[in-house]
Amino acid sequence: MPRRRKASALVLFDIDGTLVRRAGPHHREALVEAVRRVAGLDTTTERIPVQGMLDPDILAWMLRDAGMGGGAIRKLMPELVRRAQWIYSRSCPADLSDKVCPGAAALLETLGQHGVVRGLVTGNLTRIGWKKLDRAGLKKHFRFGAFAELAATRSGLVRIALREARRRGWLERGTSVSLIGDHPNDIRAAKENRVRSIAVATGVVPMEELAGHRPDVLLEDLRSLRMEVLLPQ
């Protein structure tokens, strides 16, 4: 069987603040409702700095704030993860196309035309991430993803994404790899995996703060990202 031709480049994307922003309270509400149904506790995300966090970490924080110990949290986590995804899949708005970040849709189209594989590295749980992108009209652009319940850190999610891309024959020596995100955690994860870090100021973190973390590329939004930055030289 002939060997699959490798992609010209691999670009990994965060979701919230990078591809979609201001998508409504439904994601947070799903986490709160999952805790209520599974643990019987009324909690909130109001005092939690959720930007850049993984959903299971947010759930754990909520439960700790409610007085639950680590052992009980670990025991409940699989059911919390399952229930939060189920709730969001039924409460997500029917149309999130007006929440797509500037330049995101056009960039994804152009990457596809250049044979670039696009993947996800996100703090969203799997079904939440895919549902959000589906309702935003962006799901069609992505071949695979590494989601919040699959690793303990965002850096670990990048490792999973790279391993999967390599398994599918999309990643070989010399393939250009970039991670695009809106938070310092995205920059850190890229650096820890030795891939190009591209920071975009379409989330809640201002450009000045992102600059302090020294990404390889810093953009106001994705409309100013040049293709030559992503493609092999």
The yes-or-no verdict on residue 5 having pLDDT over 80 is no
DSSP per-residue codes, 23-80: --THHHHHHHHHHHHHH-----STTS--TT--HHHHHHHHHHHTT--HHHHHHHHHHH
27-31 mean pLDDT:
94
CATH of domain 9-22+96-230: 3.40.50.1000
Please check whether the domain covering 26-91 is classified as CATH 3.40.50: no
What is the pLDDT at residue 175? 87
Q: Average pLDDT, whole number, for the chain?
A: 93
Closest by CA to 196, choosing from 116, 100, 101, is 116
Question: What pLDDT sits at residue 6?
Answer: 57
Please give the pLDDT value at position 173.
80
Q: What percentage of the chain reaches a pLDDT higher than 70?
A: 97
In sequence order, what are the residues at sequence separation of 6 or more whose Cβ sits closer than 8 angstroms to the Cβ of residue 26? 88, 91, 92, 93
Q: Residue 1 — very low, low, confident or very high, per pLDDT cuts 50/70/90? A: very low
Condensed to tens digits (0 to 9), the pLDDT of residues 213-229 reads 999 999 999 999 998 88
Which of 15-24, 73-82, 152-161, 176-185 is least confident?
15-24
Show the tokens assigned to 121: 């590295």
- pLDDT higher than 60, residue 124: yes
**pLDDT of residue 49 exceeding 50:** yes
| Mean pLDDT, range 72-95, rounded to an integer | 96
Structure confidence at residue 2 (pLDDT): 40
Is residue 132 over pLDDT 90?
Answer: yes
* 26-91 has the same fold as 9-22+96-230: no
Measure the CA–CA gap between 208 and 98, rounded to whole angstroms: 27
Section 191-203 average pLDDT: 96
Enter the pTM of the model: 0.92
Task: With a cut of 70, say whether residue 18 has pLDDT above it.
Answer: yes
Is the pLDDT assigned to residue 186 strictly greater than 70? Answer: yes
Strand-pairing partners, residue 121, are 146
More confident residue, 2 or 89: 89
Domain boundaries, the chain: 9-22+96-230, 26-91
- The rounded distance, in Å, linking the Cα atoms of 169 and 177 is 14
pLDDT at 134: 96
pLDDT for the residue numbered 174: 81
In the predicted model, is pLDDT for residue 3 greater than 70?
Answer: no
Mean local confidence (pLDDT), 141-157: 96
**Per-residue pLDDT reduced to its tens digit, 161-176:** 999 999 999 888 888 9
